[in-house]
Structure 1
Amino acid sequence: MSDDTPNRQIGGLTPRAKTQDLSRLQARNRTEPKPEAVQPSEPVSVDTVKPSRAPSRRSTTVVVHSTARMTTYLSATTRDRARATYRATSHLEGDKSWSDFVERAILAEVERRELTHNAGERYEGDSSPLPVGRPLG
């Protein structure tokens, strides 16, 4: 073998500096944006409002500051029926997403039960874990 082979090095991108702090990229280290003050809008006369093609309805969507992930189980028939309903009517009902559709459906049932069983008063929110497993009895 000859000693005349050139000394070859692999080239490419320069390595990152190891002193760079990446903790600001983690969600828990970000600061929450401050909500902007809502300015009251000027009243609009009925003559200047254009009629919408979609039927008007009162939205029952609750504005929340944060969302929570939830896992639940449905029968395949119920799930497929709900998905078909969402696909067929989301543009008519103004659903922003599948999650918005599910949230409004749950909220409608919650409001019905509060009206039926709690004289229309809200039940206090609770984030403690629900009982697991099949109910006894």
Structure 2
Amino acid sequence: MSDETPNRQIGGLTPRAGAHDLSRLQARNRPEPKPETSEQPKTVASPAAKPSRTPAKKSATVVVDTTARMTTYLSVATRDRARATYRATSHIEGDKSWSDFVERAILAEVERRELSHNAGERYQGDSSPLPAGRPLS
């Protein structure tokens, strides 16, 4: 037997340069989307949007609305109750997604408050930031 241990190395492909640099994937490094030049929403022909078993009308269009990301905090009990409700009823109510369910719930509360406090008229919306933290009493 030999007293020397063999020099064993694992071979393979050499790592690519910059393979571990994920900074280009971060949202802040992505280019900003170009703003819409007109106030009217985009329209997309519905036959290209989703295949259907029934023939689509040639004049039908789907209005594409812009979406925005929003972060909120809920109690765990409320979140779990809402998720359970969504899972149990989304196919009955026609919710397209969890976001659709949440948007519809918020819209129902907005319409209730507009009816109750503003004679059914819409409040003028804007995208200015809301005050952070709890309100001072």
- Tell me: CA distance 1:29–1:98, structure 2 relative to 1, closer, same or farther (3 Å): closer
- Tell me: CA distance 1:94–1:29, structure 2 relative to 1, closer, same or farther (3 Å): closer
- Tell me: CA distance 1:134–1:115, structure 2 relative to 1, closer, same or farther (3 Å): same
Superposition pairs of residues 1-137 of structure 1, within 5 angstroms: 28=32, 35-36=43-44, 65-137=65-137
Equivalent residues of 2:44, 2:64 under 8 A apart: no
Distance, in Å, in 1 between the alignment partners of 2:59 and 2:125 is 30
Give the structure-2-normalised TM-score: 0.57
Q: List structure 1 runs of 4+ shifted beyond 4 angstroms.
A: 26-32, 36-41
SS of structure 2 residue aligned to 1:114: helix
Aligned residues: 93
- Tell me: CA distance 1:29–1:123, structure 2 relative to 1, closer, same or farther (3 Å): closer
Distance, in Å, in 2 between the alignment partners of 1:72 and 1:35 is 30
- Tell me: CA distance 1:134–1:36, structure 2 relative to 1, closer, same or farther (3 Å): closer
Larger Rg: 1
Give the structure-1-normalised TM-score: 0.57
Distance, in Å, in 2 between the alignment partners of 1:29 and 1:126 is 19
- Tell me: CA distance 1:37–1:106, structure 2 relative to 1, closer, same or farther (3 Å): same
**Aligned-pair Cα RMSD in Å:** 3.0
Distance, in Å, in 2 between the alignment partners of 1:31 and 1:130 is 22
Larger RCO: 1 or 2 (CA < 8 Å, sep 6+): 1
In terms of fraction of residues, the more strand-rich structure is 2
Equivalent residues of 2:114, 2:120 under 8 A apart: yes
Question: Could you tell me which amino acid in structure 2 is paired with residue 130 of structure 1?
Answer: L
Distance, in Å, in 2 between the alignment partners of 1:120 and 1:40 is 33
Identity %: 76
SS of structure 2 residue aligned to 1:95: coil
Name stretches of at least 5 consecutive residues in structure 2 with no aligned partner: 1-12, 14-29, 37-41, 47-57
Question: Could you tell me which amino acid in structure 2 is paired with residue 35 of structure 1?
Answer: T
